[in-house]
């Protein structure tokens, strides 16, 4: 079964971050083994990219879902943070739908399936 677009995008982002962290670790190991400063600079650059990517991808335009089948998943909403209606209908990984709504604290919590 095919994953929803948001899940595929998050998977790709995790792969990029994993590759960058692996590059930083490898560069630090090479710096330790050879003593060449260029490897330390490469490790610092890779670490800066990891931090930058994480900050950009975890921007305020996406919100985290709480409870239900999509617990912990992040979905994009309008830049102002408003929902398109009273509830947000989300398609789950198995193709069913789940409804999330804002609670008193403003979090999107599970309200039931449809």
The Cβ-side half-sphere exposure at 22, using a 13 Å CA radius, reads: 6
Mind listing the pLDDT tens digit of every residue in the chain (114 residues)? 455 555 666 777 888 888 999 999 999 999 999 999 999 999 999 999 988 887 777 665 677 888 888 888 887 776 555 666 677 888 887 888 888 888 888 788 898 876
Extents of the domains making up the chain: 5-57, 62-113
Distances (CA, A) of 24 to 40, 43, 55, 106: 9, 4, 18, 38
Secondary structure of residue 89 in the 3-state scheme: strand
Q: Give 67's DSSP letter.
A: S
């Amino acid at each position: 079964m095919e994953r929803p677009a948001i899940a595929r995008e998050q998977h790709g982002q995790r792969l990029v971050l994993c590759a960058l962290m692996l590059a930083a670790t490898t560069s630090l190991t090479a710096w330790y083994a050879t003593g060449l400063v260029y490897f330390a600079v490469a490790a610092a650059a890779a670490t800066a990219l990891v931090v930058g990517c994480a900050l950009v991808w975890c921007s305020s335009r996406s919100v985290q879902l709480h409870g239900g089948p999509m617990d912990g998943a992040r979905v994009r909403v309008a830049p102002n943070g408003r929902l398109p209606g009273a509830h947000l209908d989300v398609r789950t990984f198995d193709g069913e739908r789940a409804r999330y709504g804002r609670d008193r604290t403003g979090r999107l919590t599970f309200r039931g399936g449809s």
